[in-house]
Structure 1
Amino acid sequence: MQLRYPLAPLTLSALFAGPAAAAGLGVNIEIPRLSVSEYHRPYVAAWIERPDNTVATTLAVWYDVRTRANNPEGEGTKWLKDLRQWWRRTGRELSVPIDGVTGATKPAGRHALAFTEGTKPLGQLAPGSYRLVVEAAREVGGREVVTVPFQWPPAKAEQAGAAGKEELGEIKLDLKP
């Protein structure tokens, strides 16, 4: 007796076929090591904005996340407004903490972030021109903003970057179609 499974190849191919690859965006942020007498880790915000300077999405915000009980001077959210550009464009409208976006300040070094289209916080960007914007502000220090223009969705794998002068080092953007 011969068994026939006419749908088996179709069923197996559906079972083992992966989802269509979604576009991706990688961000590398360098926080330089500074030789200063009083060093504080910088607050950092990274977001994507449209050509008209409206915010498409906030990717990351690093700040002092300690609670009032652990920080007698108050909560770190008090100083988020020092990230002036991010604060004026979207920060004051948000309620922090934001799951998957906000986190503690980072030490000097390189920090990598990865985002996939269709997942938070990147979500679905409409095709077009955008800018990755990274802003840093440090207590007893300065403030700096670095922008990296890019096209979405990327037609091919691309890299772009820019460098800060004091509060930020190299900012790299890796785009994956």
Structure 2
Amino acid sequence: MTRSKILPALPLLAAGTIATPALAASVTITIPQIKVAEYHRPYVAGWLEPAAGGAARTLFVWYDVKKRGNEPGTKWLADLRTWWRKGGRSLKLPADGVSGATRGPGRYTVAIPTNLPSGQYVLKVEAARETGGRELVSVPFTVGGKGSGSGKTELGSITIR
């Protein structure tokens, strides 16, 4: 191989290593299977708060986005009491990239924003289910680190990677 064939590839190789994107953090939420006669999918919201206190940042809110009429799905979001008080009531829904349909039992992964300033945070995940219960799980973590927690009834394991 001649020198002229090797040299043009070097800038591309160098550019590729410099421009490699950082690994994005994510949170995995488990919604457990609950054996009851009348099961309704839970409304679930997840948000971040600085550990030292401050404004909440909603990551996701899952609710009945298709419900219309006299009782639209947003009417019941106030049942996610902690999230509602922390900023849910001021969020205009549907919010692009944040809101989505309710989820059935299973594991779901949501990205944590890459522009999150370094520091310590608390991820909070709250679930409320019609004819069911309500649960709030808090998971402390440091940006770039890991964290985990678990609910007892409405939520299962919650893992930050």
User: What band does the TM-score fall into relative to the shorter chain?
Assistant: 0.7 to 0.9
Residue 124 (1) aligns with residue 79 (2): no
Secondary structure at the counterpart of residue 85 of structure 2 = helix
Letter in 2 for 1:166: T
C-alpha distance in 2, partners of 1:53/1:73? 37
Identify the residue that residue 165 of structure 1 maps to in structure 2: 152
C-alpha distance in 2, partners of 1:106/1:127? 31
The answer as to whether partners of 1:47 and 1:55 remain within 8 angstroms in 2 is: no
Residue 88 (1) aligns with residue 85 (2): yes
Residue 12 (1) aligns with residue 3 (2): no
Residue deviations 1:43-102 (CA, integer Å, cap 9, x gap): 00011111244344211110000142xxx4521001111111111001011101111111
For structure 2, the 5+ residue unaligned runs are none
C-alpha distance in 2, partners of 1:171/1:55? 22
Per the alignment, do residues 125 and 163 of structure 1 end up closer, same or farther by CA in structure 2, a change over 3 Å counting? same
The answer as to whether partners of 2:51 and 2:140 remain within 8 angstroms in 1 is: no
Secondary structure at the counterpart of residue 131 of structure 1 = strand
Identify the residue that residue 60 of structure 1 maps to in structure 2: 60
C-alpha distance in 2, partners of 1:50/1:102? 22
For 2:135, which of 123, 144, 163 is the aligned residue? 144
Secondary structure at the counterpart of residue 59 of structure 1 = strand
Q: State the percentage of identical aligned residues.
A: 49
Give the structure-1-normalised TM-score: 0.78
For 1:105, which of 102, 109, 125 is the aligned residue? 102
Secondary structure at the counterpart of residue 82 of structure 2 = helix
The answer as to whether partners of 1:162 and 1:172 remain within 8 angstroms in 2 is: yes
Per the alignment, do residues 12 and 169 of structure 1 end up closer, same or farther by CA in structure 2, a change over 3 Å counting? closer
For structure 1, the 5+ residue unaligned runs are 116-121
Secondary structure at the counterpart of residue 25 of structure 2 = strand
Give the structure-2-normalised TM-score: 0.86
CA RMSD, 1 decimal: 2.5
